[in-house]
Every structure is written in C-alpha cells, then in structure tokens.
Chains A and B, each alone.
Chain A
Amino acid sequence: MAREKIYLEEVFPSPFMQLWGIFRKTPVAMIGFCCFIFLVLLAMFAPILAPYTAVDGNLDMILLPPAWHADGNVSYLLGTDELGRDMLSRLMYGTSLTFGLSFIVVIFSLVIGVVIGSLSALTRGIKSSFLNHFLDVVLSIPSLLLAIIIVAILGPGISNTVWAIAIVFIPQFIHITRYAVKEEFRKDYVLASRLDGASNFRILYYSVFPNIVERLMSQATLAQSAAILDIATLGFLGLGAQIPLPEWGAILANGLERFYIAPWTVYLPGLAILFAVVATNLVGEGIRHALKLRKEN
C-alpha cells in the first residue's frame, strides 16, 4: 500500500497563517475584508469601470435625482450634480483619491515609522528620553491641526494634503513600533537568540519583526480609517483636493450649496466615506479579534 507520507510530520502553521485561519472564520471580518478588496479594485480600475468620466458634464441632465426616484434616469444611476456630471462615475473615480491615496499614505508612513521606531527602540539614555518627549509633544497636537498647518505651509492641493497626512502619521507609527519592539526585547526568546550570538539587527529582523507584524497591521488599519477621514475633511474644508477633482469630501462640500434641492449630492459622498471607513475598521477589528484568540490558544 502506497503511503504518501513516509514520515509522520506535524505541520505547524506560521503565526501569520494561524492568524489568517482565525480571521477567515469570523464572518463579519470577512465581509469587511471583501468590501476592502472591492474598494482596492475599484480604486485601481475606476477609469475602466465607470460609465462616464469624472469631469464630463451633460448640460441636458442637470441635477437629476438617483434612478429609483420618479424623475430619475436609469442611465445616470445615482443622479447628476449641478453641471450634469454623473454621480456614480464621480464617486468611482473618487475611490482612487480618497481611499487609494489613504492606502498609499499609510503604507509610506508605516515603512518610515517602522524603520525609525525600531532603530530608536535600540537606543537608550538621553537620546531615547529626548525622542520620547519629542513624540509626546507631536502626538499631543491633534493630527488634523498638524495637517492643516502643513497644508498652510505648502499651500492647498491634493498632493500637499497627502504629504501632510503622511508626516502626521509617521510619529504614530514610530511610537507604536518603538513600544512593541521594546516589549519584545524583554522576552526570553530574544535573550535566547542573543546567547546564540545574534546581533541586534539580526534579532530585530528575524525574531522580533515576525512577532509584531500583526500589531503593526492592526495599527495600520486604524491609521487608514483616520487617513480617509482626514483626506475627506481637508477636501471638505477646501484645503485638500481642488475643484474639478472628484474627491469624496470635496464632492460633498460642492453639493452643500444645493443641499435642499439636491440632497443626494451630499448624502451619497458621505455614505461612500462611511462605507470605506467601516470596511477598514471591520478588517482592523477582525485582525485584533484574531490576535486575541491566537494569544488565548
């Protein structure tokens, strides 16, 4: 009789796979994850999928209500705005600005924050104390206020908003990485590999990082939901994306003047922001829940 496996091997899934195993068993988290993937795909392929472009106006079809309304037109599914631009296409293009840019911002500041944070975790004494106090100061300034100041220096515009938000998030990632690395360095397995003669960087790379990567991911989802809200808020205040850009906050601010006659130009972008933030938070919640369960096992 043929045996597929000669040696009886027990397979230990890696910590990451264990986490995924728990994560996929939580239905709510999986729904959030699917929405998240959907938004990522939409952000990438919006120009192909959208029925119209974001700036094309059809002046015969001004302020058309959504299609389920009695006056609606099915070829403009979510209605049009005051220049006859299709709301659905604008919202789809907006995904790549509000959601896609927040995704990129978070990854950018995550990488920089983790590098600085883990290096600073290895320092001690006055350097460390200085950094700690400095971070306390920066973190005590509200993120939006800091972003507003940076935009005031650089001037309004979507690219400046992105830089401002990236700069604001870096200290948060430094803080959490520093804290997590310091905590791991106190544990016995780090001592064991130090006794094997591993250098600090080797310990950091091979021993500590695999153990803190999930915590960083959960922080990243939190940061992303904040980044979506910040980009939209700056757009709403007129400091972020400028007029023709279909950024969700800017669309909302644009519809504000016609709030009473065309409420869909205000509530649709708001719903889009809400959807994106909820999807991101569900993924984050799922990761945190899975982390907790994995720790308990």
Chain B
Amino acid sequence: MLTFTLRRLSLFIFTMLVLTLLSFSLSFLFPGDTVINHSGQINASAAELAHLNQVYQMDKSIFYQYGAYLTHILNGDFGQSMASQSPISNEIIKLLPATIELSLVALLIAMLVGIPLGFIAAIRHNKTSDNVILSLAMLGYSIPVFWLGLLAILVFSIGLGWLPSAGQISLLFEIEFVTGIQFFDILLSDSPYKWQAFRDASAHMILPACVIALAPATIFIRLSRASMIDVLAASYIRAARAKGLSFQQIIFRHAIRNALIQIIRHVGLQFANLVTIAMVTEVIFSWPGIGRWLIDSIYQRDYTAIQSGLLVLSCFIFIVHILTDFIYAALNPLARGNKHGS
C-alpha cells in the first residue's frame, strides 16, 4: 500500500505541474499582454505595471516566470477577475462549494439509480427486462443535457409547478456563509426557519441534480451490468451454488460485493464527465456554481478567470479521481500490486 500511495502521490504532483504549466501557457495564448492576463489588472497604471512585471519576473527567462507564477498559485493568489476586479480566489471559494454539492448529489443519485438497475439487468440477462433497461439506458445517454433541462423546467416548474426552476435557495432565507455547502450551512445556522430552508434548498436541488444524474446513471447501468455478468460467470459463484446457497444469498453475499469493486474503479473517470454536464446544467438552472461563472467569464473575455477556473476545476476532478483510486486499492488488494501505467 505504501508504494501504491507513493506512486499516486508522484502522479498527483506530476499532474498538478502539467496543469499549472497549461494554465501558465494560456496567458501567452490568450490575446493581450501576458502579465495582465496573469494578474487580471487591466487598469493598472505604469507604476503598478512595472511592479507587476517585477513580481511575475517578466524580465527574466521563462523558467523564472513559471516559478513566479507557481509561487503565486501556491500562495492562493490567482490574480484579479478582469470583469469584476475582485480577487479570483475569493470568488472561487464562494462558487466551488455549490458545484461540489451539486455534482456530489448528482453522483449519488446516478449511483443509487444506475447500479441497482444494472444489477437487475445482469441477473435477468437476455430477458425482456434486460432489454428494456438497456434501451432506456441508451436513450438516456443520447439526450442532450440542455434540452433535457429545458424540458424538465417546462414540465415540472411551469406545467406542474412542483419544483423551482432556478437558483440554489429562495431569497427569503438568509443563510450565513460558513462552508459554502448549502445543506451544511443551513444545519449550522441558528435561524428559526431552519427546516423550511432545508426543504426549500432540497426542492431547488432535485431538478438540476436529476438532470445531471441521467447520463452518468446510464453509464453506471452499463458498467454494473457488465461487471455483474462477469462475476456471475465466475467459478466461485458456481461453488457457492454447489454449496446449496439460495439465489438471494449468492447475490447479496457474494456477487454484489465483488461486482461493486469493479464499478468503484470507474467512478473517478465518470466524475469528469459528470462535471462537464454540471457546467451546462448550472447555466440552465442559474445555479451559482463555478461552471456558470466560467462560461460567463468567456462571454466577458475574462482570461484570468478562465485560466484559474480551468485549474481549479480540473484539480478538483483529479482529486476525486485519486480518491476513488485509493478506495479501490483499499477494497481490492489485487489492484495494489499493479505496477506500470495503469
């Protein structure tokens, strides 16, 4: 496990280096002056510009420039937003938790719906219910997410009036910002309307989370179906059957556990996909998250915000990726010995 941890750690450091290198080079690729793209200070006076040039070591070679940029990032200084002229790190701290909350809830929904359906399809392999589940999965995988979001708003918010269509919580509730994750903040606050606020926040969450969850859920259906079919064909299942265990015992005690391990391995990869979907969904549901902020900053040509947003979002995805790798290795001793490039 130690070598595994060291390997993952080296991969993590390497990845972070490549990602910062990418966002560093974006400053050169974007239109405009490099140091202004780094810092986001578009209205800097000549003296401030000279100071910035010195801070980012623009007079020295590109290695020093990268070093200076990296130091800034490590100190949590992403520069200023070109559009609002406020520090980007503050905005990210405000926005990222909302995205984390939304994407984790969506991941949970996708797994809770997708994995059992996949297991059912695998157990009833090549029967009608298997085919129905597979066809639904393919349809769900093919629906463009922005269209689905609009239809969901049309049906559930406008047509039936069950759920709110935009935002994170009703403006009536004043919740103090502590962690940024709305549910925790509500529980931590001492408002007398805690439970109403909690219900309101959940009602706001349901529609976007379900829209995001649909496509990943269909992928989980396929993954869990494939891994369950593999497990059910394994010889230890036949041994368990020969021992005289009932069908339910075989499925719940032996098959599900082993099938789940294979699925956990893919959660990290699916998460990147889910965050992409979440970005578009945030735009449609006006969710105050980092995806909507990033797309807005493209409209505003806010290059500093774009490169920091890229860095933070892919860093977040990669941390989730590494975490699932760890969980997988902790659950499955076979994976720890795997040496090169996998």
A8 within 8 A of B: no
| Stretch binding the partner chain, chosen from B46-54, B110-118, B189-197, B314-322 | B314-322
Which residues on A sit within 8 Å (CB–CB) of B14? 133, 137
Scoring B residues 271 to 289 as 1 if CB is less than 8 Å from chain A, else 0, what string do you get? 0110110011001000000
B143 within 8 A of A: yes
| Stretch binding the partner chain, chosen from B74-82, B237-245, B248-256, B292-300 | B292-300
- A141 pairs with B11, CB closer than 8 A: no
- A278 pairs with B139, CB closer than 8 A: yes
CB distance from B215 to the nearest CB of A (A): 9
CB distance from B258 to the nearest CB of A (A): 22
B15 touches which one: A140, A145, A274, A282 (CB < 8 A)?
A140
A119-157, CB < 8 A from B: 128-129, 132-134, 136-137, 139-145, 148-149, 151-153
A144 touches which one: B151, B280, B318 (CB < 8 A)?
B280
Which residues on A sit within 8 Å (CB–CB) of B29? 153
* 7 closest Cβ pairs, A-B complex: A142-B276, A270-B147, A277-B142, A144-B276, A132-B341, A137-B18, A278-B142
B173 within 8 A of A: no
Query: CA–CA, A122 to B240, complex, Å?
Result: 44
B139-197, CB < 8 A from A: 139, 141-147, 150-151, 154, 158
A273 within 8 A of B: yes
A132-B341, A143-B276 known; A270+B298 contact, CB < 8 A: no
B1-30, CB < 8 A from A: 11, 14-15, 18-19, 26, 29-30
| Stretch binding the partner chain, chosen from A44-52, A192-200, A209-217, A230-238 | A230-238
Count A-side interface residues using an 8 Å CB cutoff. Answer: 43
Residue of B nearest to A130 (CB): B14
B302-342, CB < 8 A from A: 303, 306, 310, 313-314, 317-318, 321, 340-341
B138 within 8 A of A: yes
Which residues on A sit within 8 Å (CB–CB) of B283? 237
- A134 pairs with B314, CB closer than 8 A: no
- B142 pairs with A281, CB closer than 8 A: yes
Query: CA–CA, A260 to B150, complex, Å?
Result: 11
- B341 pairs with A148, CB closer than 8 A: no
Given contacts A141-B317, A229-B144, A270-B150, could you give 14 more A-B pairs where the C-beta distance is less than 8 Å?
A133-B11, A142-B276, A142-B279, A145-B294, A145-B310, A149-B310, A152-B298, A153-B30, A225-B142, A229-B145, A233-B144, A252-B146, A270-B144, A274-B147
Residue of A nearest to B131 (CB): A28
A278-B138, A278-B139 known; A252+B280 contact, CB < 8 A: no
Residue of B nearest to A270 (CB): B147
Which A residues have a C-beta under 8 Å from some C-beta of B?
128-129, 132-134, 136-137, 139-145, 148-149, 151-153, 225, 229, 232-233, 236-239, 249, 252, 256, 259-260, 263, 266-267, 270, 273-274, 277-278, 281-282, 285
- B273 pairs with A142, CB closer than 8 A: yes
Chain B interface bracket (under 10, 10 to 19, 20 to 34, 35 or more): 35 or more
The dominant DSSP class at the A interface is: helix
Query: CA–CA, A249 to B314, complex, Å?
Result: 26
- A149 pairs with B272, CB closer than 8 A: no
A129-B340, A145-B314, A278-B138 known; A233+B145 contact, CB < 8 A: yes
A132-B341, A237-B283 known; A151+B298 contact, CB < 8 A: yes
A142-B276, A252-B146 known; A136+B11 contact, CB < 8 A: yes
CB distance from A175 to the nearest CB of B (A): 11
- B147 pairs with A153, CB closer than 8 A: no
Query: CA–CA, A285 to B222, complex, Å?
Result: 12
Which residues on A sit within 8 Å (CB–CB) of B310? 141, 145, 149
Residue of B nearest to A234 (CB): B280
Which residues on B sit within 8 Å (CB–CB) of A236? 144, 146, 280
Which residues on A sit within 8 Å (CB–CB) of B18? 133-134, 137
Query: CA–CA, A273 to B318, complex, Å?
Result: 31
- A128 pairs with B142, CB closer than 8 A: no
CB distance from A293 to the nearest CB of B (A): 13
Query: CA–CA, A137 to B26, complex, Å?
Result: 16
CB distance from A281 to the nearest CB of B (A): 6
Which residues on B sit within 8 Å (CB–CB) of A148? 294-295, 298
- B303 pairs with A274, CB closer than 8 A: no
Report 24 cross-chain contacts, Cβ distance below 8 Å, ordered by A residue. A133-B14, A133-B15, A136-B11, A140-B15, A140-B272, A142-B272, A144-B276, A144-B279, A149-B26, A225-B141, A229-B144, A232-B144, A233-B145, A233-B146, A236-B144, A239-B298, A249-B146, A252-B146, A259-B150, A273-B147, A274-B142, A274-B147, A277-B144, A281-B142
